[in-house]
Amino acid sequence: MASSRIYLDHNATTPARAEVVEAMRPFWSEEFGNPSSAHRLGQNAASALEAARARVATLFGAFRADEVVFTSGGSEANALAIRGTVSLRPSQGRILASPVEHDAAWALLEQLAAEGYQIEYLSVDPFGRVDPVQVRERLNTAALLVVMQANNEVGTLQPIEEIGAIAREFGVPLHVDSVQAAGKAWIQASKWGATTVSISGHKFGATKGIGALWVRTGHKIRPLVPGHHEGGRRSGTQNVAQAVGLGAACELALADLNDHAARLASLRDGFEASIKNIRGGAWVNGHPVFRTANVSHVSFAGVKGESLAIALDMEGIAVSTGSACASGSSKPSRVLAAMGLPLSRQKGAIRFSLGRQTTQEDLDRTEEALLRLVPRLRKAEFP
């Protein structure tokens, strides 16, 4: 095994940036007041919280900081947006969603279906993209439209601005899960026709356990936990240290977003060009143009993705067979199934996700390992 490990599963293993940890430090030990308190410690915390909210609003492309609600992460933000929207529209039980949503949204939609809501799924093309024409044809009378900005498995970016314009024309609320896009692609919540947009901090340099939901001014949501915090939208004493960290991560991400994305895209494209030469076949999944720069999702002919992921791990290379949140499942990906990929390509799929720590040397070592391992595994599994 190589002496140092390579992490090509940055969708799940992105470390908090040093600047973020340093920004949070005082709020664990010195400025530890409750931001709802009237004394000086409380007001210091409140000031820090609101400064962080303004930084997060900038990442969202929002005009108003009070449109930002701090949450425990992307899953809670999605639940607050989706359930919080439809629960105020009991006479309209129809929800229209893309079939490639993250498991956090998918599981909630399945739960709502069990409660009597009518859930309908759009179709996607072989690249995993929703056609806005189809949205227009099926949106009428829906209580909510749910379409993610970037897919967590293949990285495909949806035409959110076009879809949002249609949603606004029909007067239908639109929730956009931007968890996978934050820090890698621009979010334009105020420009889109969306009503809610979610992010999660650990995807772009903040710590795990903090996220945010943007709620357009005038859009009403019912809180999952009622109370007076976060403008009455999410009760509970705010985690000031985590919120400050999220604000710092947002500021850092925006400072070099274009350069960071360009570097990752260059590394990714070179890597994909090299592994396409693997004997027996390797296919890149997802859209060739409209895709986040950090994701390379590849199917290897005649190889089981789980077997290859284990073999790479033994070489000191961490990868994923799909969504990190569902990595324990042996079922073929429903995202790849919705894209219409053959079962053989679904079973042989691996997701490589790059990050700030990824180097050309990391990818060279991974390519060398793949050139050795894929033929060996193919022979073992299909002698």
Active site residues: 325
Rounded distance, CA 35 to CA 49, Å?
8
Rounded distance, CA 236 to CA 116, Å?
30
Q: Which candidate, 66, 64, 58, places its Cα nearest to that of 248?
A: 58
Please tell me the total number of residues recorded for the chain in this structure: 383
Q: Is 239 left (phi over 0), alpha (psi -120 to 50) or beta?
A: beta
CB atoms within 10 A of CB 288: 10
Rounded distance, CA 290 to CA 108, Å?
27
The answer to whether the beta carbons of residues 373 and 315 sit under 8 Å apart is yes
DSSP run (H or E) holding 241:
helix 240-255
The answer to whether the beta carbons of residues 248 and 23 sit under 8 Å apart is yes
Angle at 120 between CA 119 and CA 125, to 5 degrees: 140
CB atoms within 10 A of CB 34: 14
Rounded distance, CA 6 to CA 2, Å?
9
Which residues are CB-neighbours of 51 under 8 A, at least 6 positions away? 244, 247
DSSP state of 164: H
Rounded distance, CA 217 to CA 58, Å?
15
Six-digit token pair at 38?
A: 């009237």
The answer to whether the beta carbons of residues 270 and 284 sit under 8 Å apart is no
